[in-house]
Structure 1
Amino acid sequence: MDALLLARWQFGITTVYHFIFVPLTIGLSLLTAGLQTAWLRTGREHYLRATKFWGKLFLINFALGVATGIVQEFQFGMAWSEYSRFVGDVFGAPLAIEGLLAFFLESTFLGLWIFGWDRLSPRVHTACIWLAGIGTMLSAFFILAANAWMQHPVGFQLDPVTHTARLTSIWAVLTNSTALVAFAHTIAAAFLMSGLLFVTVTAWHLRRGRNADVMRPSLRLGLWTTLVGCALTAVTGDIDGKIMTDQQPMKMAAAEALYHTSQPASFSLFTIGSLDGRSEVWSLRLPGVLSFLATGSFHGQVQGINDVQAAEIAKYGPGTYTPVIPVTYWSFRLMIGFGVLAGLLALLGLWLTRRGRTPAPSRRWFWLAALGSVALGPLASSFGWIFTEMGRQPWSVYGVLATRTSVSPTVGAGTILTSLIVLTALYAVLAVVEVGLTVRAAGRGPGDPPGADTDSAHDAEPGLGFAY
């Protein structure tokens, strides 16, 4: 057993698992805030019922996200103490801001929103959910700023005495081009993922003819959110790809399994490689598309793996600077593929529900596709993070700190294996709890409409708060 490999598996499992809840929390908070604003402005009772219904699903995911996020951060001191020692002065700054500012903002106003239904005025109460949603976005930004520094380190210098990274400009860290585009990409993905959850839950109810007054508008909202999220994800992903080509040329080459520098460079839809993953046997390609993704021109030059490897040996010394090519190649394509499927489903759903229509129960294929679509968002997000992190290897901080020197030197493989097994088992239990709570809350629906005295925003029944 290798301690480094086990530590990487542990961090990978906890990170991918945790990040399922992050985009869901962001998207659901903002969509819930939008629904409550619609109720406040129109006084229509079905918006109030929708707000409370989707708010329950938001709270479930928020709670699981907090629990898994705490475990993830503990690992910096558990298995990656050398990394923490080296980057603590830089890495700790955005994490501290996230904890002291963003997390307290979202948790404080979320608490006011949960318990303020019968205590706060409708306008103040609506403002609380918006502030909680803004807090979730700020939390994501500061976390992504920390991660972006690992991808493209800026605003620091190496201390000649301690041989650690010393922060010189927090502004440079927070305005890192990699951080800004990653934040935009994440917010877009959050809308895509939360929109798909809307589609799945509403499809389950509408297929059975239940709660149509709430579920049909929610279905349309989910379809539009998914489509817009898919389009914005594609645009921000394109920008991210061009930045990545400039900052991490090896990652772009690995995404395509491009071994030799090409101009123009084609994009392979499917490639069969050798067993060691180091050469191409056969592929189906789109001419010039990779050049466009990397440079913005269909005739641009894209560096190959072999040339980048030679350049990095000359810059950093002897070693292997190539990530696991099959992992980067397929995770890149699966990320794109699942996102495209989500966009196509949204387009189809919007066409079938145009002009007040609802797909007939006999369209079983559509309802099954809508129910299964809930998996598309987490799959696209997970493969995106696998590509982002695996494509950076063998660096934990690109060009500055190697992953092999970041692991805790005094923690043995047996200890890491034990924690890996325990955490994986714990996360499996949490997955069962998450699915159980979500299915139960989603299956109950928004409940029966309240009486006539609750139809307006100003006469809403105080007892219509959440029941747990």
Structure 2
Amino acid sequence: MDVEILSRVQFALTISFHYIYPPLSIGLGLVMVLFEGIYLKTGNKLFEAMTRFYTKIFALIFGIGVATGIVMEFEFGTNWAVYSKYVGDIFGSALAAEGIFAFALESGFLGILLFGWNRVSKGVHFFATVMVTLGSMFSAIWIVVANSWQQTPAGYHIVGEGLDARAEITDFWAMVFNPSSVDRILHVWVGAFIAGAFLVLSISAYYIIKKRYVEFAVKSFKPAFWVFAVSSMLQLFIGHRSADIVAVYQPAKLAAMEGHFDTLGKADMYVVGYVDKKNETTSGIKIPGGLSFLVHQDFDAPVKGLKSFKPEDRPNSPNTVFQTYHLMISIGMFFIALSLYAGYLLWKGKLFDKKWMMYVFLWGVLLPQLANQAGWFAAETGRQPWVVYGLLRTSDALSKAVTANQVMFSLIMFTVVYILLFSLFVFLLNRKIQHGPFYAEGDDDKEEDHSPLHKAMADEFGK
């Protein structure tokens, strides 16, 4: 493999592993705000126990997320020096804003969230929980703004030529509110809400299946379920809006997402399929004129196909774009169906009696992660061959001094370290889940919490 491919694989590995954690922290933070808010309103100690329990899990997710995020900033300089110089003014502003407005807010109140129990008032602690959640959401804003600028650049001009060329901000707010940023931020937020809520649903389903902490699990399941259900419905409309933006500003990406090759023909919408890049054909199950209708509300309206663009300006791997995009869509539609059916069972009071549904929620925790990862892969591979759409090609953005052997060595080392980190995360997460939300008589775990709240909860609800 050459330096470009290896550098892309390395960055894909590091950002994919990192992106497991921020959506979980955003979504879990929202659910924790609900739990603590219900506790303040009702005085029900069970909801306080929920907040305490999931705060421990939040801290684990937050810690690994921070550690894995730092790596990517170094990669910009080591593997993508030309890119870093080209977009430094843009990215520098966005990342500085993240540090000032987001990370400082999140980390500043994290100590109160973790250690403020019984040290500050209930209202102050709830305020800290809200601020940590908002901080995680603000952090996503600036990262997505920076990435969205690469997709739909705005508010800039180019100074210098050749290797000395770089983009400078001429209008900060035009850069921030570039054509795709708002829709993509909403898309990322809602995906994060689904991921975090589903983690709570999965843990609750596990306790229900095992008949442990059943009342705790049932009561924590319900608020998390409504976050999941509402978010799943919203994502249908927000995702459609994001696709409309792609149709206007990145037509080659849209054509790859749907495997549409005709120059100016009506576009079918594929449910499943395969894109043959060599023969420029797509086969599969399709809705005739479906994409034309979604884009133009007309089944016969023409949509630009991949043949409308020079081969060197098309996405490098249209089948990868197609498959990852359709995987995201398929999981999203499954979530809608699941939320409707489970909501009906919940309304009838039959959901928790159906063990097979609890298993769906237990193992379904993997699906939001797959959907989030697939969405990012579709967005990033669909932007190729551009690292900044229409301005800077990926092949021109590489560091000139780095060699393939150096990148390969670091890629292997990152892979080993990330496998170890993920194993540690799974081990610690499983340990916290097995330990349970509060200590009950007979627990073997030696890290039981003997606080008055936990003793009261154990006495009242036990195992």
Same fold (TM over 0.5): yes
Residues 400 and 295 of structure 1, relative CA distance in 2, 3 Å threshold: same
State the secondary structure of the residue aligned to 2:387.
Answer: strand
Identical columns (%):
33
TM, length-normalised to structure 2: 0.91
Amino acid at match of 1:344: A
Asked if the contact 1:223/1:347 (under 8 Å) is kept, the reply is no
Whether the aligned pair in 1 keeps the contact of 2:102 and 2:136 (CA below 8 Å) is yes
User: Residue 462 of structure 1: CA displacement?
Assistant: 8.2
Q: Indicate which of 234, 237, 243 corresponds to 1:235.
A: 237
Residue 195 of structure 1, CA deviation: 1.8
User: CA 1:358–1:234 in structure 2 vs 1: closer, same or farther (change >3 Å)?
Assistant: closer
Asked if the contact 1:153/1:398 (under 8 Å) is kept, the reply is: yes
Match of 2:332 in 1: 339
Give a deviation string over 1:24-83, Cα, whole Å, max 9, x none: 110111110121111111101111111111222211111111111111221101111110
User: In the TM superposition, what is the alpha-carbon distance from 1:292 to its structure 2 partner?
Assistant: 3.1
Given candidates 408, 413, 436, the residue that maps to 2:427 is 436
Which amino acid in structure 1 is aligned with residue 335 of structure 2? A
Compute the displacement of 1:297 (Å).
4.2
Q: For each residue in 1:83-123, what CA deviation from the matched residue of structure 2 results, as whole angstroms up to 9, or x when unmatched? A: 00111011110011101221010001111211111211110
Match of 1:369 among 349, 354, 360: 360
2:23 maps to which residue?
23
Could you tell me how far 1:446 is from its partner in structure 2? 1.2
One-letter code of the match for 1:200?
A: S
Question: Secondary structure, in 3 states, of the residue corresponding to 2:309?
Answer: helix
Secondary structure at the aligned position of 2:286 is classed as: strand
C-alpha contact 2:145 2:176 (8 A) present in aligned 1: yes
Q: Report Cα offsets for 1:120-153 as digits up to 9, x if no partner.
A: 1110110011011111110000010000010011
Rounded to whole Å, the distance in 2 between the matches of 1:294 and 1:20 is: 31
The answer (yes or no) to whether the contact 1:245–1:252 under 8 Å persists in 2 is yes
The TM-score, its normalising length taken from structure 1, stands at 0.90
Distance verdict in 2 for CA 1:240–1:358, change over 3 Å? closer
CA separation of 1:273 and 1:117: change in aligned 2, threshold 3 A: closer
Residue number among 373, 385, 409 corresponding to 2:400 in the alignment: 409
Which amino acid counterpart does residue 156 of structure 1 have in structure 2? Y
Structure 1 residue aligned with 2:309: 308
Which residue of the partner structure matches residue 84 of structure 1?
84
Contact between 1:118 and 1:462, CA under 8 Å: does it hold in 2? Answer: no
What amino acid sits opposite 1:207 in the alignment? I
The offset of 1:368, in angstroms, is: 2.3
Check if 1:293 corresponds to 2:288. no
- AA at the equivalent of 1:347: L
2:20 partner SS: helix
Q: How does 1:129-168 map to 2 (within 5 A)?
A: 129-160=129-160, 162-168=164-170
Contact in 2 for aligned 1:185/1:232 (Cα 8 Å): no
For the Cα contact (< 8 Å) 2:324–2:378, is it kept in 1?
A: yes
Mean Cα displacement is larger for which, 300-309 or 40-49? 300-309
After TM superposition, the structure 1 = structure 2 runs for residues 112-131 of structure 1, keeping only pairs within 5 Å, are: 112-131=112-131
Name the Cα RMSD after superposition: 2.0
SS of equivalent residue, structure 1 residue 271: strand
Cα distance between partner residues in 1 of 2:13 and 2:297: 34
Q: For structure 1, list consecutive stretches of 5 or more residues without a partner in the other structure.
A: 311-318, 451-459
Correspondence for 1:189: 191
- Higher normalized contact order (CA 8 Å, seq sep 6+, divided by chain length): 1
Question: Residues 104 and 273 (structure 1 numbering): CA distance in 2 closer, same or farther, change over 3 Å?
Answer: closer
C-alpha deviation, 1:23, in angstroms? 0.9
Distance in 1, matches of 2:75 and 2:212, equals 45
Q: Distance in 2 between matches of 1:36 and 1:273?
A: 49
Partner of 2:280: 279
Q: Distance in 2 between matches of 1:113 and 1:334?
A: 36
Name the CA shift for 1:35/1:359 in 2 (closer, same or farther; >3 Å): closer
Question: Aligned with 1:359: secondary structure?
Answer: helix
**Hey, what does 2:213 align to over in structure 1?**
211
Structure 1 residue 44 and structure 2 residue 44: aligned? Answer: yes
In structure 1, C-alpha distance between the alignment counterparts of 2:401 and 2:275, rounded to whole Å: 39
